[in-house]
Amino acid sequence: METPIEQTITTVWNKSKWIIKGAIIGGMALVLMIPILYVKELIYEREERQQEATREISSKWAGPQNIIGPVIAIPFWKTDGDTLLSKSVTKHIAYFLPDNLNINATVNPREKHRGIFKVMLYDTKATISGSFNELAINKLNIPADKFIWSEAFVVMNIADNKGLNDQLTLSWKDSVIELSPKLDADNSGMTAMLKATSAADFNNIQFKTTIDLNGSEQLLFTPIGKSTIVNVNSTWQHPSFSGSMLPQTTDVKDSGFKASWKSMAHKRNFPQQWIDNAYRLDHYFPKPQTDNPPRTDASNDVKVISTIANSSVGSSAFGVDLYIPVNGYQKTLRTIKYAILCILLTFAAFFLIETANKKSAHPFQYGLIGLALILFYTLLLSISEYAGFNTAYFISSVATIGLIGWFVRSILQSGRATTILSVVLVLIYSYVFSLLQLQDYSLLLGSVGLFLTLAVIMYFSKKMQW
């Protein structure tokens, strides 16, 4: 026979054991966030391997491309100092941009594979034409007799010359000139000498070229003309328009896309003429923003990119990204953000169900259910590399719900309780999938969903006798 003290202890324990167990289960849910971190690291590792495959294939094919040019470059002499003893003569280069530039490009997408990883490549034929009306040398305040006309040259910049399939030639006036690579302290790109004796030789010049070019993922054009018109068409169905401006017109269909840009000189961050490297003729690729940027201290890189963006002609480029629409790694990372929500809701539902059925599951069994919920993300990651994210999500969720349902039935010995928990899991995974699909409304849907979930838990918990 129990003593009064033992009876009191038993009564207190019976009233508080559910609270203690609930606290233990909540603590277990937080502890399960540790393996979630390891799953995140696995996702980053797989994504890095995909990027390595992309870099490897691009290095052999060609990288992202940015076409700049043609630009006229003319060396000139500049005298510094006021006295005979302090005077020095130095050589500089003046750059002049065309008045009109028209580009028509046809882009043919190519998918390449490295193991299970897919890389988006392309080849393009771009026809570039335009004109120089006259050189505004008066805007640079350089006397005409200081120019070295015999050393004038034309320059075009291709981001990755390895992508050129043919010799780059340029119809210039009534002749055809060949451009070749030249790298020195003053300029970079493909250049060719021009036969000139005075500024009059650069009046009313018509030019035209067709570039057969390979590239990967991105194709940009720099609007160096006072008026620049770019037309691009392709059979790729999933374009992403990027760069300094969006196209004025787009037509995206299942058969491909067409896009047109028009840029005027007042929209750019560089003038029609300048001296030396005041505005460099190099290429610049703005990096796309992702859900999870590189986890390194990139302060120095940010400074470098900012400097390039302010000084490079290429920073005004625009164009198209031929991206692969299903990025399983980014979507899996977004899914894992809701891991704590899935674990807590599953534990709460199981706790209410076992309490209503007057059964008691061991905290170790809660831990096994939590591990099954975590393995959902590894299944999702691995299957999405082969079958795509949506298919992988369906397979992984069905497998996880089936495993947990079978386990709970063996614990509670109740088909009704198992069905209820399975329905709860279906609703949770459907809810998370909906959040992933509705990016613009994810916050609204998430807030409403959490509110309704809390209301349901409060409704069922008020019937329980603590």
Residue 124 banded pLDDT, cuts 50, 70, 90: very high
Q: What is the pLDDT of residues 272-313, one digit of tens each?
A: 999 988 887 776 655 444 444 444 333 333 333 333 334 578
What is the full DSSP assignment across 9-57?
HHHHHHHHHHHHHHHHHHHHHHHTHHHHHHHHHHHHHHHHHHHHHHHHH
Residue with the larger pLDDT of the pair 192 and 195: 192
pLDDT higher than 50, residue 227: yes
The mean pLDDT of 138-159, rounded to a whole number, is 90
Q: Per-residue confidence at 439, pLDDT binned at 50, 70, 90?
A: low
Q: In this predicted structure, what is the pLDDT of residue 257?
A: 93
Of 34-43, 112-121, 332-341, 452-461, minimum mean pLDDT range: 452-461
What separation, in Å, do the N-terminal and C-terminal C-alpha atoms of the chain show? 25
pLDDT of residue 153: 93
- Say whether pLDDT at 95 is over 90: yes
Least confident of 86-100, 221-235, 373-387, 432-446: 432-446
Q: Mean of the pLDDT values across residues 233-261?
A: 91
On the question of pLDDT at 356 being above 80, the answer is no
Tell me what pLDDT residue 400 has: 94
pLDDT of residue 312: 72
More reliable by pLDDT, 230 or 441: 230
Q: Is the pLDDT of residue 249 over 90?
A: yes
Confidence of residue 384 (pLDDT cuts 50, 70, 90): confident
* Residue 335 · residue 432 · CB < 8 Å: yes
Q: Confirm if 192 and 229 have CB atoms less than 8 A apart.
A: no
With a cut of 90, say whether residue 99 has pLDDT above it.
yes
> Residue 228 pLDDT more than 50?
yes
Angle at 448 between CA 424 and CA 27, to 5 degrees: 55
Pair of tokens at residue 86: 């302090």
